[in-house]
Amino acid sequence: MALLAAVLAVALIVVVAAGGAARRTTRLRIDAANERLGEQTALDAPGLEASLARLERAVDLVGLRVDIARSDVARTAHALEVIPEGVVVCDQSGIEVFRNEIAQAFSGARHAEALVERAIQEVLSAALAGSPQRRELDILGPPRRMLVITASPLHDGERSTGALAIIDDVSERRRLEAVRRDFVANISHELKTPVGALGLLAETIAAEDDPAVTRRLAERMTGEAIRVGRIIDDLLALSRIEAEEQPLREPVAVRDLVDEAVERIRSLADANHITIVTDDVGRRHTLRGDRRQLVSALANLLENACKYSDEGSSVRVASTADGTAIEIAVRDDGIGIPTTDLERVFERFYRVDRARSRDTGGTGLGLAIVRHVAGNHQGDVRVESSEGEGSTFTLRLPSGPGPVAIRDLDESPREAETA
């Protein structure tokens, strides 16, 4: 019995010692975890419960940090989705980890887009090797586009973490740059011709003794001066219309606009013996917009029609409505426009018949003004023409609220009547 009691005592001691060792091991592991999580265990900590409490606080803190990191990642991904450039990110192994929606259009694509995707992969591979890349691609389309692809290596200060590629569509930027260059070249040419002619005429007059010749030269100088003035006036009008991207919105009668535009070019029509017919303009048709801009656009269309029509012919103006928009059509039976020129007639200074434009005093800015007025009013302008058979320019604009008072050019305003 004594021996049995001794054996049991030794076993109990061993069990207690083992339990104490296990608790010490657990405590050491908890302390080590606290230290890794940034929670230092105080030397006077009252046991395992305090260590567990600190561990729980540390785990909660880590969970909060993970939530914040996830939120940051989601916010960054959303920001990359809404930017207008394509973005592709790969890790240090070249495996793609992110591609926004714009860049997604090139993945698995065919034809021209497949060339863009190959270029993206090539610049990313070069960037992973540590070499920043930039490549321009001219995609013929249609529509024609100019893309600039740049790739940069990513690193955390010690090692490479991947590469980033950005696909930027610079088509509109390049188009505007080309328009700006053409504008400067064109305006320089347009002003140089009459200014040079004025200089030559002035020199000739200074050396001329014959009053009749002097008078004739002076008349030519007056014509050239008027031409310069028209160019400057049209440039100022175009600049003002471009600046007024949100013009005044007021209800105006289409008939009122047409009558005012006709009166503005009446002298030109009479000089060319051209009849302007407006019987088909609806008297209940209305628009909401800037009266000054709309009259300017219609006057330019009528002026072009008169300039490019034969003497004794007629120009017809008509309006139609479809419930949401009003279309105002100006038709002539003039020289017409070649098919190859139809897409360019609204460009600044572009002329189909340059010789005739100079004879008629045209500046090449009238149709550019019409296009900007249409755009300012959320509308558009289109042209249908056959060479030798005349042209029809149609201005389509959102309709107004209903019949409004029509202003008579000679009388007080009167209420619109049924067409």
CATH classification of 247-415, choosing from 3.10.20.740, 3.30.565.10, 3.40.50.300, 6.10.140.120?
A: 3.30.565.10
- pLDDT at 157 (0 to 100): 76
What does the mean pLDDT of the chain come to? Answer: 78
CA distances from 5 to 83, 279, 286 (A): 82, 129, 115
Report DSSP state, residue 40. Answer: P
d(CA 55, CA 65): 15
* Domain 174-243, architecture per CATH: Orthogonal Bundle (1.10)
Q: Which of 28-32, 59-63, 148-152 is predicted least confidently?
A: 28-32
Q: Which pLDDT tens digit goes with each residue over 182-230?
A: 777 777 777 787 788 888 888 888 888 888 888 888 888 888 887 788 7
Q: How confident is the model at residue 417 (pLDDT cuts 50, 70, 90)?
A: very low
- Strands 405-406 and 414-415: what pairing? antiparallel
Q: Which pLDDT tens digit goes with each residue over 161-174?
A: 899 999 999 988 88
Boundaries of CATH 3.30.450.20 in the chain? 83-169
Q: Kindly report whether the global pTM for this prediction surpasses the value 0.85.
A: no
Boundaries of CATH 3.30.565.10 in the chain? 247-415
3-state DSSP assignment of residue 224? helix
What's the token pair of residue 218? 């002076």
Percent of the chain clearing pLDDT 90 (strictly above): 20
Q: Which pLDDT tens digit goes with each residue over 218-261?
A: 888 888 887 788 778 777 877 777 776 666 788 899 999 999 99
3-state DSSP assignment of residue 247? coil
- CATH 3.30.450.20 for the 83-169 domain, yes or no: yes
Q: How confident is the model at residue 34 (pLDDT cuts 50, 70, 90)?
A: low
Q: Which pLDDT tens digit goes with each residue over 90-111?
A: 998 889 888 888 888 888 777 7
- pLDDT at 174 (0 to 100): 86
What's the token pair of residue 126? 């070069």
Beta strand extents in 69-217 (DSSP E only) = 86-91, 96-99, 133-139, 145-155, 160-169
What's the token pair of residue 276? 């302007």
Q: Which of 271-280, 296-305, 340-349 is predicted least confidently?
A: 340-349
- pLDDT at 258 (0 to 100): 94
Q: How confident is the model at residue 13 (pLDDT cuts 50, 70, 90)?
A: very low
Judge whether 264 and 295 are in contact, CB under 8 Å: yes
**Tokens 């400067």 found at:** 184
Residue 392, phi then psi, degrees to nearest 5: -130, 115
Boundaries of CATH 1.10.287.130 in the chain? 174-243
Say how far residue 374 (Cα) sits from the centre of its chain: 16
Judge whether 107 and 99 are in contact, CB under 8 Å: yes
CA distances from 379 to 48, 101, 283, 376 (A): 78, 30, 21, 7
pLDDT over 60 at 46, yes or no: no
DSSP-assigned states of every residue in 338-400 = -GGGTTTTTSTT--SSHHHHHHHT--S-HHHHHHHHHHHTT-EEEEEEETTTEEEEEEEEEB-
